[in-house]
Structure 1
């Protein structure tokens, strides 16, 4: 099989979030530590509007939100909370253009996927949007249009870059299994059929990435990642926490690799921890590949090394340490396969 990925062989990248509240400093770290595949950092410690849900809600078209004690909720008109979210994004894009405007390689941006967004944003009456299929359809259409606009804006700021769009879907397995709690917390919302979930995710991917506007990646740092659904929705790479990939998922992971889909493996904790020797960080990746029986030369082409999840809860010292470890692990795996 002939495969073509937008990243260089032996690449590493970050998942999304970083500690602190300075977008200039965070992006400089990303560009310095992840030169092969940098990304736009998210800084949720800045407060409301910089979190995963609020940041993406700021992209929605004609669906304003505001912040309640229970979380983000749809409202009739834009207000201060939505302006704050959009101001954060505008500042990030200005910094991006200033520091990386001449970048001519792959560059990743992130947004919340439709099912995690529907599981976290509330309707006006306080129920989760996921409860109302009509609301989910409206949300998905609005998100698709909004993310497409975001991709276009990033492409304008980085005219020579190849854009990768990562959709974060940590709640998708819970949505499919009927484990998302109701607003009261005393019950669970009904499970969403896999075909419905695939259709919604595909709508966002096709609208935002169509015409080669962006290379679609889906990140799911939960157990029971629905690999087949994500491939069916159009994901060309799937990002997971390697520690949460059990042996019983070997068939699904193997089918994903065999289909030519990229596999992004989180190999190091997202919060401060004592890292083992470099060879021990790489060992689970090698073991997975050996178990699945694929040629070693494909590993460094198809696999990107990442932290297990976002780094918002880590110390600045650990951020640099773990990003360097991911980069060194990717290079070691590449050199070993040559």
Structure 2
């Protein structure tokens, strides 16, 4: 039996979709990524449908609001927090209707604690990242809120054999390298110790789920993610650097799954599926891993979310990933 929740030759999406029709986005996610469907996100709906606001709606006793500078913690829940929560609840209600009779793994996405800390400002001061105590409070709140969210999804999708939780951490490299700007924009916040980053991230990962961290920025911190105990790493294949391959090799050898972004997240002319699958096939060959593990340990995805794409391209991108995933199984060594 595979150690991963999915079977061989699997593809999925990162999460975001274009437009404002959530029911249609769910149908596309299930229709074009049937081996690992997911709950789509539609940031075009505005405040509260964005990555930060959507996840902030899960926080317990840490309400947020929108200011001209972005999201900020507030004294009490207000209109912005309610709008974000309403978006999520409506999406889950619609999901429950569409998934009647579905059986298989199912993926949800949330923003990670470090990207949240780098984006949300404190009530009177700098970004949350500047205050270690505030970061701990954020991590504790997100841990509880995410666990409750996973339980809600399990109830609504009873046929889900396993919940895959994708933690979006595009800000993680900046947190580790000290390049996150202060609230004023005139300075940079100090780098955070790798062990602290791993410990806080690991604390958020929900028990009883398969967890994947998605980072579409250059410099994915593979070692930190392994320390945190994630089950998979999601990255843009075209941002992989040869100097990263030792770290990638250690990650693969440890049994960590790779979600490789192999098609653009915005409208583009897509090549044949053999070309789309090539980054995964060539990586496996260079690292010297047996081709028999490629189709189960690697999941193909778009390079990032599809919010900036046209609806037609979003569907085509997912379909192309699905077809390219079969190449990993059918002819991985040729």
TM range (shorter): over 0.9
Match of 1:76 in 2: 75
Q: Which residue of 2 aligns with 1:325?
A: 320
Q: Distance between the aligned counterparts of 1:25 and 1:126, measured in 2?
A: 41
Q: Could you tell me how far apart the structure 2 residues matched to 1:190 and 1:234 are?
A: 24
Using the alignment, how far apart are the partners of 2:298 and 2:100 within structure 1? 27
Counterpart CA distance in 2 for 1:100 and 1:326 is 22
1:210-257 per-residue CA deviation (whole Å, 9 max, x = no partner) reads 1x2x11111111111111111111100110100111010111100111
Output the CA distance in 2 between the equivalents of 1:303 and 1:277.
19
Instruction: Name the TM-score, length of structure 1 as normaliser.
Output: 0.97
**Residue of structure 2 equivalent to 1:132:** 131
In the superposition, the TM-score normalised over structure 2's length comes to: 0.98
Q: 1:278: which partner in 2?
A: 273
Aligned length: 332
Alignment of 1:298 with 2:297, yes or no, is: no
Q: How does 1:1-338 map to 2 (within 5 A)?
A: 4-161=3-160, 162-205=162-205, 208=206, 210=207, 212=208, 214-337=209-332
- Per-residue deviation at 1:277? 2.1
Any conservation in 1 of the 2:65–2:72 contact (CA below 8 Å)?
A: yes
Contact 1:176 1:191 in 2 (8 A): yes
The DSSP-based 3-state class of the residue aligned with 1:166 is strand
Whole-Å separation in 2 of the counterparts to 1:67 and 1:101: 36
Return the offset for 1:172.
0.2
> What runs of 5+ residues in structure 1 fail to find an aligned partner?
none
SS of aligned partner of 2:93? helix
Misfit runs of 4+, over 3 Å: none
Structure 2, unmatched stretches of 5+, are: none
Shift in Å at residue 270 of structure 1?
Answer: 0.3
- What is the CA distance between 1:101 and its match in structure 2? 3.3
**RMSD (Å), alpha carbons:** 1.1
Deviates more, 1:283-292 or 1:146-155: 283-292
Give the Cα separation in 1 of the matches to 2:279 and 2:88: 36
Matched residues in 2 for 1:37 and 1:285: separation?
18
Any idea what the Cα deviations from partners look like across 1:34-85, whole Å, max 9, x if unmatched?
A: 1110000000000000000000000000000011111110011000100000
Would the aligned equivalents of 2:281 and 2:332 in 1 still touch at CA under 8 Å?
no
Distance, in Å, in 1 between the alignment partners of 2:126 and 2:21 is 34
Q: CA deviation at 1:24?
A: 0.4
